[in-house]
Homo-oligomer: A and B are copies of this chain.
Amino acid sequence: MMRNNMANSYFEWPLRVYIEDTDAGGIVYYVNYLKFMERARTEYLRSLGFGKQFIFNSALMFVVRAVHAEYIQPARLDDELTATARLVKIGAASLHMEQLIQRNDELLCKGEVEVVCVDKQSMKPQRLPKEIVSAIKH
């Protein structure tokens, strides 16, 4: 189900590459781009009002169901990067995000991430809270 009018569907988050993020190839360890993408997703949800309160008081949580990442150019130690999160599709229980890692105008990594809203106990998919759908669309 594609929604058309997703007003608050784009988000940017700046970050710096530290030694912890790199590997012996002298570049950012490719696995760590997924962490950068998640920071942007987390801050995007926080910007919509779903931060600490949602995380700790709700019976729901978001889990990742699928990730796809393409690696175009490597990032290096001390680089200043931008991680983006753009909502491309809302399902009944899921959000599909396109996420880019950029260094200025250069695209380094492109990701597609599907996150699903689940019950914390049963881990079963649950409808997205109306407040989230509403926050995204306004």
Residues of chain A at the chain B interface (Cβ within 8 Å): 18-20, 22-27, 29-32, 34-35, 38-39, 42, 51-52, 55-56, 61, 63-71, 74, 76-78, 123
B25 and A42 within 8 A (CB): no
Contact of A19 (CB < 8 Å), options: B29, B66, B68: B29
16 A/B residue pairs, CB under 8 Å, sorted by A: A18-B35, A18-B38, A19-B25, A19-B38, A20-B29, A22-B23, A23-B23, A31-B32, A31-B35, A31-B38, A55-B77, A55-B78, A67-B67, A67-B69, A68-B68, A68-B69
Task: Give the chain B neighbours of A52 by CB distance below 8 A.
Answer: 78
Instruction: Count copies of this chain in the complex.
Output: 4
> Within the complex, what minimum Cβ distance (angstroms) separates A124 from chain B?
12
A31-B34, A31-B35, A39-B18 in contact; A25/B66 too (CB < 8 A)? no
Asked if A19 and B42 make an inter-chain contact with CB atoms under 8 angstroms apart, the answer reads yes
The answer for the CA separation of A29 and B32 in the assembled complex, in Å, is: 12
Q: Kindly list chain B residues whose C-beta atoms are within 8 Å of the C-beta of A76.
A: 24
